Each structure stands twice: as structure tokens, then as C-alpha cells.
Structure 1
Amino acid sequence: MSSSTAPEAPATETAEDSGNLAIIARQAIVDEHRAVYGYELFDRSTASDAHTAASDAALLFNALSYAGSEALVGRKTVFINCTHDSLAGGHLELIHPEKVVLEVPTLPDGATAEDIEGRIATLDALRQRGFRLAFNQQALRRGYAGWLPLAAFIKLDMTAFKPEVAEPLVKFARMHTPQAQIVAEKVETAEQYERMAQLGVKLFQGYWFAHPSLVKAQTIRPSQATIIQLINLVRKQASTAEIEDLLKKDPTLSFNLLRFINSSGFGLSCEITSFRHAVMILGLKKLFRWAALLMTTSRQGGTPPAVGQTAVVRGRLMELLAAELLPPEECDNAFVVGVFSLLDAMLGVPIDRALESVALPEPVLDALLRNEGVFAPFLELTKACESGDDEAFARTADALHLSNHQVNMAHLQALAWAESLGEE
């Protein structure tokens, strides 16, 4: 049976050399009407199937920061498998808990009653914060009775029990977790689906509905040196202005922050389009968590220095030119236009695709996508300064009523400013 969410690619693919790709598999969880209720996410960015606290954090971070969470999960519920170590991880503070179901495994065989009871405080704290918890049928065993009042979902693995056990198992789950929804998972045949549907189960997951599909996204990661700079600023309780300065110096850092804070998983009701606003909304504690996670998922190097340097010069030059003619609040947007005008080169994809996953004001998009609006002539003039195109330089400078001296001085200042960044 096919699902309304057709697979983009076979889920058995792995990324032997994924480069700057974040590869996330999702499998639909559907209701009794076959409508998508949510998606379970799996990390496919590496060939390894190792499931660790670090991989849990990386999966959530990549899902929110890189894959464009609107395209990945829309407004559906996200189910994430967790290790017990990851449940205490700071990365969970970065997401909107109402969007996420944490799938919590039972402990390995041989765990003592004290071990099992000892996990309840962490699980309850997560539930109090708004996360919903899902347990598998192993949690229906006697030793886990203390966990069951915390369950929002019980997942029953159709491959783990015989058909005749289905009815007593569903009845037992309902009796001991009346507040929880039952999910029949690994449903592979019509018979399995019909059997569970007749028992009143409303949620289903498995190959009979949809194989996992892959969502791939080109990523753009700052250098680790830049991220360390940010972490150091946060640790010394730097001002918003100091942090904003660093964001303005590194287009990859600012791009990632705007994309992350505007992801559906972060849970904001309005789009954030300025660096200062993003820093104020996050606060130092969450900014530290974000930077630490960004560092763990980034490789050495990042964007080629020449491209990043050119982008920064563009941003600063546009900011300085705009300051001659536009209100101060527009200068920040001019900077963003310049810095993000090279996202296509940084990501290796067309500019319209590069901008899909970051929230920007409409005038900024007008300039970057359509070469229109108030910032378009500033961008054209900036490019003319780079290329040495005298005709374009004269035409655009004249159109903006800027003298050669004004533009040349601004260009020298922008070059000097960008050069100084590498000396800090």
C-alpha cells in the first residue's frame, strides 16, 4: 500500500562521503484515515548505525538547522529515538517541546529495579517541560510500572509478538496506560493493519504505509575557530552588540543562526530577521548550547576563506554605502544583502534554493532574488567595485547620487575592516 508521502529515495542509502550534506530519513506515522500524524526521524549522514547521545543531538540539530524543518516535517509531530544519556543533554533546551516526542528505550537486560526507578525523575522532568514520551512494549513489563504514568505513546512492534497476542497486549496497554495513544509499528501487511485497527488502534507506522524517505540538504558550516570565538564571547557574558559584531563578520555563522531560530522546532510565532533580535531571543544560555552543538557537527575548515572574505567585504561596503542614503535601521538589511549574496557559491546551489531555509525581510529577498528594490542598486555597485567594471561603477554610482570619492573611501574602509577580522 502506498502512502501519500512518496519516498524521495530508498532509505537504505548511506552517505559514504556526504561532504556537507545532512541526510535525514523520515518515516510517516499515520492515523486511521491514512493522514500523516507525524514523522519519525533517523540520522543517515554517516554510514555508521551507532546510536549515541552525540548522534541524537546531531540529528535534532541537523533537522532544525540544516534540512529546513518546514520541508522536512512541516507542522507535524516529530518522533526522535533517544538514548538515556541524551535525555539529560542540553540540546533539548533548544527546541519547542510540544513539537517533539522522545522515544525512550527500556534499559538493557540485567538492569536493577533501582536503575529503572532512578530514571523516573529525568523522564518526569522532561514531561513537565512539555515533551511527550513514547515507550515500546518492553515498558509494559512489571519492573517498569513506575514509567507508565509518564507515557504519551506506547509503540507495539508487530514483529515482536504472535498475532494471537495482539488483543491481550492492546488490552493490557490500555489498562495500565489509559492516557497513552497506542502506535502499531513495523506494520508490513494488510492483515496486521486490519487486526490492530479492529482492536481500536488509531496510529500506525511501517512499510505497508510508507518506507522511510531521505531528505538531503546542503549544509554551510562555519569554521570551528569562529564558533570557538562565539563560545568565548558567551562565556564571558559579552554584550549583545559584541556578539552581533561577530555574527556580522562571519556569513556562515549568521546564516545558521537565522535558519535555526526560525525553524518550526524552535516554536516562534514570528520570523526573526536581524542578528541582534536573534541573540536577544535566544539569550546567552541557549546561544551557548547552540554554538556548542554547531561545533560538534562542523568540520575543520568551513567555507573557503576567499568566498567568506568577499561576502564580508560586500556586506560591510553595502552597509557603509546605505548609511549615506538610507535610515539607520535599513543599514543592517543592506549588510545582510551583501553577506548573503554569495550563499549560492558557499552552498553550491542556486541562490533561490539557498535562501529557502532562512527568514529574510522582503526588501532583502527582492535584491537577492530579483535584483529589484531599494538594495538592488547598492548590490550592483558593490559588485562593480569588485570586478573593476568602470561602466557599471559609473552608472550605479550616478544613479545613487554617490561620488567616486564616497564609494572608493567606503570600499577601502570595507576592505580594511574585513582584513582586520583575520587579525583578531
Structure 2
Amino acid sequence: MSTQAAPDAATAASASGPFAVAMIARQAIVNTQQAVIGHELFNRARSSGEHTATSDVLLMFTALSHTGAEELLGNKLIFINCTHETLAGGHLDLLNPDKVVLEIPPLGHTAVDEVNARLPILSALRERGFHLAFNHTVLESAYAPWLPLADYIKLDLSVLAPDQLAVLVRYAGRHSKAELIAEKVETAQQYDFAAGQGIALFQGYWFARPAVIEARVLTPAQACIIELINKVRQQASTEEIEEVLKKDPSLAFNLLRLINSAGFGLQHEITSLRQAVLLLGLKKLFRWAALLFTATRASGAPSSLGHTAVVRGRLMELLTLEILSQEDADQAFVTGIFSLLDVMLGMPMEAALGLLNLPAVVVAALLRHEGTLGDLLTLAQACEMNDDAAFDRAAHNLRLTSSQINLAHLQALAWADQFSEQ
């Protein structure tokens, strides 16, 4: 869902040493007493200074890992713009859903089968406790299956005429239990009219312009992340994992920021690395560390490497879910993420893999393209290189159709693009 572009902010100071700067903007959502009930978060593109409205739960992951929860969110609801491609991403596992509102965009095409195809994912998110918000298109007949899932419906005053707004408010009141939010409220007249229609929540310049927060982000060293990944893979004791985290203040810093974020909904601040590890769990800790690794690289390595690795990992994960189990999909994700390990570390792949404790099937795929994971890696590389012959061979071996592969590739590109924006 679109939001108003934030005003220009002062240029962030140049990153230095182990620090980088993340730009996150938030805009208040208020009630009729003008008390803040929540904030919508969105990313600020550092290169152009423009607001990007495609940020989703990956922004949430970055915000909670790197920014003080009290500074950014307080104890209010968090509204996050989503894309359908990334709703099934593993980052949602890192969040306590109680305070998170996922803003679900309309589809490009509103065929009934497409709407119904998305319904199980949306229903599962709501069953897990996430709140769902939609824009006014959810009131169209094509989206009738989604309407019972709506906790909030946003009505954009910049595109809805007063008579349209009145009709939609009445329809929503009869056919849903959602709370209505008037957004893009820029004048007292707009506020008075919307309130007069019975709308009780508001967002827009009339109340508050988006505020930009600069979060200083520590970048952990590759060696410590590799050691952490190994300990997790070995199912090492909490004490052993804690010792690794203590070696690199940036790793400890990022983990404690994540655990103490509003997304986890904890009543008391966690200051113990041991408690943080126990709360997150080994599976989530591994995925967090693997994604964190893609953001680091050896001196001189191109910055696009991490993005390519994330695309491969997500593409292979999505395709594996078409033919195998979730456990197999997890291994496919790991294979893709580490498929450029040699370039990231500046050493031969065999030597690089010697640093990590990875499953034998993953190592075989990375070194020799063996097995199903090897075919998936070949397929991912063929998609990058437009190698039709390799594409056809791998697709045949995996019994995947071109349409399945192309859709998964588009979804993986969108997912990785939003991760790399952070």
C-alpha cells in the first residue's frame, strides 16, 4: 500500500570502520483523540533519498536487528508494507505477531483463482496471530474471500472522492469487522469529513510527516559468522554458542537488538546472550547468521555477490518446496546461499567449504553439482546466464515446468531485492 513520500532528510554521515547507516522512516497512525496507536515503517533509499513503498518483513528484520526498539517503535502497532512474493519468507519466524500488521497489496490481476490461491497463506498468517491490513480494493467483489481476514482497511483520500468514500465506509461496515484507516489526510476538511463518516483511525501529513531514523549498524566479521554457523550446525551447547558471540561485539549487538525488539513482545529486556540464543532457537539462529553472512565479503569482492547468493538460495528453496519436503528446502536454501562462498572468502571452494560444517549432500552439490541439490544449483545458475541447454537439462531432471521455474525466479528476485535494500 502506498504511503506519502517522506520529506528530504539530512544526508547520512559516511559509514566508517565497522559501522554502516540504515535509513528507516516511520509515520504515525492516530485515533480521533490524535493518540498514536501505531506506526507504518518504510525504507528510505539512501542513494536517492526517496521513499520505497515495496519494503516488507525484510525491513522489519533489519529494523529489529539493528535499531533500538524503544526509539523506533515503542509499544505501538507496527504496520509493514508487504509483497506477495515475500510473505512466505523465513523472516516472519523472527517476529512476535501480536504487534505486527502486515499490509497486503492487491494483485496485479484479480482473477478469482489468483485470489483464492493466495488465501491459504493469508489465512495461515492470521491464524499465527499477525494482523492483516488491505487497501480499499479488498472491498471489490473479486476480493470477497480476503475480506473476512481484514483487521484494517486503508482508504486513500488522495484517490477516493467524498461520495466514493461514503459508499465504501458503509459497505465495509456491513460486510467486515475491520477498523477503517483514512490515509493521505492532508487538510482539516478531509479529517472532518472522514471522521463524520465514522472512520476512527487516520494517517497523513495533517497529523505527522514521516520521521527518518538513522540506525548505526555493526557489520560482523566473516570469521565469527562462520564459526557461529558451524556451532549451530553441530548443535553445540548454548555455552559454546555464547562464547562465539562474545568474540565479536557486533554479532552480540545485533542479536540482542533483535531479541529485545518489539517484534518479540518480551516483557523484560534480555541482556544475556545465553537467554537470547535459547529464545531464538538453533534453526532461526542459523538462518539469521546465513543471511547476515551474505552482507559481508572479502576486500575487493563485488557488492552484488550477496544479492546473487540470496536469489539462488531463495529460488532453490521455492523450487524444492514444489517437489520435496520443508527439510529439503532448508538444505536447498543453504546450498544457494553458500554457492558463492569461494568468491566471498577469496579462496577455492573446496578450501572454503573446509571452514564450514555443512551436510554432505550440500557439499556434493557445491563441489560437483551432484544430486537434486546439484541440479537445482545448475538450474539457478542457468537462470542467471540464460543458458537454455543447462536450463532444459536441469528442469527435465527435476521434473519442473518452465512456468514453475520462471514464477519462482521472479519471486526470488523480488525477495532478494528487498533484502539487499536494507
TM-score band by shorter chain is 0.5 to 0.7
CA contact (8 A) 1:94 1:289 kept: no
2:276 partner SS: helix
Match of 2:244?
A: 246
Cα deviations by residue, 1:193-251 (Å, 9 ceiling, x for unpaired): 11110111100001111110111121112024432332333233232232122112212
CA contact (8 A) 1:18 1:45 kept: no
1:123, 1:27 → 2: CA distance?
25
5 Å matches for 1:267-416? 267-296=265-294, 298-300=295-297
2:7, 2:221 → 1: CA distance?
31
CA contact (8 A) 1:25 1:44 kept: yes
2:28, 2:88 → 1: CA distance?
27
CA contact (8 A) 2:238 2:274 kept: yes
Match of 2:407?
A: none
Match of 1:120?
A: 119
1:219 partner SS: strand
Match of 1:13?
A: 9
2:168, 2:53 → 1: CA distance?
28
CA contact (8 A) 1:223 1:301 kept: no
CA contact (8 A) 2:28 2:210 kept: yes
2:262, 2:87 → 1: CA distance?
21
5 Å matches for 1:175-186? 175-177=174-176, 179-186=177-184
1:205, 1:13 → 2: CA distance?
20
CA deviation after TM superposition for structure 1 residue 15, in Å: 6.0
2:218 partner SS: coil
CA contact (8 A) 1:29 1:203 kept: yes
1:201 partner SS: coil
Match of 1:172?
A: 171
Unaligned runs of 5+ in 1: 1-9, 303-424
- C-alpha distance 14-51 of structure 1, shift in aligned 2 (>3 A): farther
CA contact (8 A) 1:15 1:44 kept: no
1:51, 1:213 → 2: CA distance?
15
- How many residues get paired? 289
1:125, 1:292 → 2: CA distance?
26
2:13, 2:223 → 1: CA distance?
23
2:202, 2:242 → 1: CA distance?
46
1:45, 1:252 → 2: CA distance?
24
Match of 1:29?
A: 29
Match of 2:77?
A: 77
CA contact (8 A) 2:42 2:80 kept: yes
Max radius of gyration: which structure? 1
1:210 partner SS: coil
Match of 2:63?
A: 63
Opposite residue 297 of structure 2, the aligned amino acid is Q
1:202 equivalent among 200, 203, 221:
200
Give the TM-score normalised by the residue count of structure 2: 0.64
Cα RMSD, aligned residues only: 2.3
- C-alpha distance 276-111 of structure 1, shift in aligned 2 (>3 A): same
- C-alpha distance 50-78 of structure 1, shift in aligned 2 (>3 A): closer
CA contact (8 A) 1:82 1:103 kept: yes
